Chain A
Amino acid sequence: MKILVVDDSQFARKFIGKLLSEHLQEAEFEFASTGEEGFELYHSFNPDFIITDLLMPGIDGKMLIKLIRHSDKNVKIVVISADVQKAVKLEVEENGITLFLNKPLDQEKQGLLLNVLKGVN
């Protein structure tokens, strides 16, 4: 399984990377700190899952999802954002995301994320 993590916060990237590598030992990871880098890695790395933040300078998470969905309806996208607004969640859900989680990830949210990545319903 290939997982691309896009977040401008190094702290968030490290946290997500550590969590996933501990529980998904077979997975391959790539990390991007901007939407632009994330879009490039989406093409070159060809991930099965994209985990993205929303609030980023330049191409933000919302735009990144739209760009990807323009040509790819299949790749699974998980949003992990500090934005607690229902309107924002509805907006990104319209673009076909698999899961929306609010930062920070407590035990329960970590479990939800891992279940989605492992394909557990």
Chain B
Amino acid sequence: MQKDVLVELFNIHVGASASLLSTMVSRKIILSIPEIELISGSDINLFTFEQMGIFDSGEAVLSNIKFDGEFKGAAFILFPTQKVKRLVSACLGEEITEDDLGDENLSTDEIDVIKEICNVTLNSIVGEFGNLINIKIDFMTPEVEFSLVSSITPESIKGENNYILILSTSFFIEDISIKGVILISLNDTSVKMIINKIDELLGGQNE
């Protein structure tokens, strides 16, 4: 039952985040209901996502935002590189050519837009947990890197935290479907805070 509540909470937050992204790209965006899993940090295996076909070319744009305070961890969005170029061009209101898609490099402008997408999306998802638990979360500035999925190490996602929440989701932007993965690594205290809050919401129904 705790997982049901967690899925429901994330659905609300991810829905809000889709609405924010829609405003950014001036197009309707639907985020699919995420599949959520809470795993031990050492069990993260990004190769699974490659096998699921999320990263066909094996290349990903990894953007992240770290957060500190009582609620501590880091949130990541992984997008396939080619698809993220479509998302960026939609934000900039520009047409994208096949040549642009073939160019594997990201320009400074493109990285800047990805940072802002990461900033808005992950602040919306993680920040609402701050509101729910009634604590203040301190966010760091977002970072973006371009990487082969195979070279993203579990340690770079896990950091000092023991748990990872995996949200597999798809962004549907009119005719473009962009599958992406949101990962949130959390320390023990933060996971306990969420679980305690869920138990409070359930009002002892879980006992």
Asked if chains A and B come from one complex, the reply is yes
A7 to chain B, nearest CB (A): 9
Contact A83-B127, Cβ < 8 Å, known A9-B119, A12-B116, A56-B141: yes
A20 to B112, CA, bound (A): 21
Asked whether A104 and B23 contact (CB < 8 A) given A56-B141, A82-B123, A84-B124, the answer is yes
> Which residues of chain B have C-beta atoms less than 8 A from A57's C-beta?
141
Binding stretch for chain B, among A37-45, A70-78, A86-94: A86-94
Q: How many A-B residue pairs have CB under 8 A?
A: 59
- For chain A, residues 93 to 118, give those with C-beta under 8 angstroms from any C-beta of chain B: 103-106
Closest to B17 in A: A84
Question: What 0/1 pattern do residues 92 to 132 of B give for CB contact below 8 A with A?
Answer: 10000000000000001100110110011001100110110
Contact B127 A84 (CB under 8 A): yes
* Cross-chain contact of A88 among B109, B119, B136 (Cβ < 8 A): B136
Q: Is the pair B116, A83 in contact by a Cβ cutoff of 8 Å?
A: no
Q: Is B36 an interface residue (CB 8 A)?
A: no
Expressed in whole angstroms, the Cα–Cα distance for A25 and B203 within the complex equals: 56
What is the total number of residues of chain A having a CB less than 8 Å from a CB of chain B?
20
Q: Which of B112, B123, B127 contacts A10 (CB 8 A)?
A: B112
Asked if B49 is at the interface (CB within 8 A of a chain A CB), the reply is no
A64 CB to closest chain B CB (Å) equals 14
Q: For B127, give its contact among A8, A9, A85 (CB under 8 Å).
A: A85
CB-nearest residue of chain A to B141: A57
Contact status B136-A106, CB under 8 Å: no
Docked complex Cα distance between A12 and B141 (Å)? 14
Can you list 8 pairs linking A and B with CB atoms under 8 Å apart? Answer: A9-B119, A10-B109, A11-B112, A55-B119, A82-B119, A82-B124, A103-B119, A104-B20
> Interface on A for B, CB 8 Å cutoff?
8-12, 55-57, 82-88, 91, 103-106
